[in-house]
Amino acid sequence: METMDRIRELHPTYEPAEVYRAAFVGSGFVAVTNQIAGSGKDAIKDAVAALCGGISCPSYTDRAWRPSDGPKLGNTSYVYLTSEEMLAEIEAGTIIEYEPLRDYSYATSGREVKSIVEQGKRPFKDLEPNGLITLRRIMGDCGVIRAIYPLPDLTVLADGRTQWEHLLTNRDYEGDRLGDILKGSRGEESANDLAKRLTAAAGQRALIGELGLVEDDNTFFVVNTYGRLAETARVAANFVNHGKITTNPYGSPTGTAIRANLNEVEEIACSALAEAS
């Protein structure tokens, strides 16, 4: 059996080793979740963690590193494994949860969580929405898992593109327009990479509806308005420390606004993909 096939086979019934489950239950774990590249997950995660006495927990992954996040740049958001190493971690029970995607996986390491707890800190981690649901399934009623869901800033700028499109393309694609990148302006690898990101972003509205996240009291949606990170982080930190926010402070949208934001994300992504096809 191929390694990735084995990883997928183990996923539905996976359980971590008890030592790592116990560390996780008492950790106060906070997930920052979505599949919208360019929405500022890392910035919010780090800012809220700083306000809440937290430490960012890296993701274990067996995907190839990208130019913007590879270890040669000193990036600490990921620990890169081979697929064989990932499978060995899973079979040993050292992984808290993992999510197999197309041809690679992302995982939460029990060792990393345990190390953060032993420092007297709270772990914060970037997590896929499906990974969040998997984690809540594995843990059941053992500990509250709060999640922050950043929504991208869709303010339209002078060139007709949204702030989200600029943030998405400036980091990895030299600021080219979505359609140009998809047509190969930055090479075939970049075109394929962006297509995967846009496809994931386009599916968010349907996904959160399917998973029931909008109505979930332990999931907080916040608009990540460009230039207002400190204010956004304070609102999110209040949620982390105190739970559901019943008022509607800056950046905390209603269910209707959440769906409208993700509907526009879907339209932008699908339009770019259709234009390039």
Question: Measured on CA atoms in the order 43, 45, 50, 52, is the torsion positive or negative?
Answer: positive
What is the model's pLDDT at position 90? 98
Sign for the pseudo-dihedral over CA of 188, 191, 197, 200: negative
pLDDT score, position 71: 57
Max mean pLDDT range (61-75, 106-120, 127-141): 106-120
Q: What percent of the chain has pLDDT over 70?
A: 93
Q: Is residue 13 part of a domain?
A: yes
Residue 132 lies in a domain: yes
Encode pLDDT of 13-29 as tens digits.
Answer: 999 999 999 999 989 99
Mean pLDDT for 93-120 is: 94
Which of the four pLDDT bands, split at 50, 70 and 90, describes residue 202?
very high
Q: How many degrees, rounded to 5, is the angle at CA 202 between CA 14 and CA 35?
A: 40
The pLDDT tens digits for 235-277 are 999 999 988 765 556 567 888 899 999 999 999 999 999 999 8
Query: Does a structural domain hold residue 260?
Result: no
Number of structural domains (the chain) is 1
CATH number of 227's domain: 3.40.50
Q: Does residue 171 fall inside a structural domain?
A: no
Amino acid 253: pLDDT: 84
Cα–Cα nearest to 277, from 175, 199, 220, 223: 199
| pLDDT score of 242 | 86
Most confident of 62-76, 112-126, 130-144: 112-126
Q: Is the pLDDT of residue 226 over 70?
A: yes
Two tokens, residue 133: 């649901």
Whether 270 maps to a domain, the answer reads no
Q: Residues 165, 163, 267, 252: is their CA dihedral positive or negative?
A: positive
The whole model's pTM is what? 0.90
Mean pLDDT value across residues 46-66 = 92
Domain-located, residue 12: yes
Residue 230 located in a structural domain? yes
Give, rounded to a whole angstrom, the gap between the first and last alpha carbons of the chain.
35
CA–CA separation, 257 and 260 (whole Å): 5
Distance of CA 58 to the CA centre of its chain: 12
Q: What is the pLDDT of residue 75?
A: 58
Q: Look at 226 and 171; give whichever has higher pLDDT.
A: 226
Query: At residue 53, does pLDDT exceed 70?
Result: yes
In this prediction, residue 245 carries a pLDDT of 65
Q: Given pLDDT bands bounded at 50, 70 and 90, which one contains residue 1?
A: low
Contact, 150 vs 42, CB < 8 A?
Answer: no
Q: What is the average pLDDT across 220-228? A: 92
- If you average pLDDT over residues 139-147, what whole number do you get? 86
- pLDDT on residue 254: 84
Q: pLDDT tens digits, residue range 107-129? A: 999 999 999 999 999 999 999 89
> Would residue 251 be called left, alpha or beta, if left means φ above 0 and alpha means ψ between -120 and 50 degrees?
left
DSSP β-bridge partners for residue 56: 124
Question: Residue 219 belongs to what domain range?
Answer: 3-152+212-253
- Does residue 261 sit within a domain? no
The average pLDDT across 82-106 equals 94
Query: Does residue 172 surpass a pLDDT of 90?
Result: no
How many helices and strands in the chain, by DSSP H and E?
12, 9
Phi, psi of 140 (to 5 degrees): 60, -125
Is 70 exceeded by the pLDDT of residue 134?
Answer: yes
Q: What is the pLDDT of residue 212?
A: 87
Contact 17, 94 (CB under 8 A): yes
d(CA 128, CA 97): 11
Average pLDDT, the chain: 91
Q: Is 79 helix (H, G, I), strand (E, B) or coil?
A: strand
CB atoms within 10 A of CB 272: 21
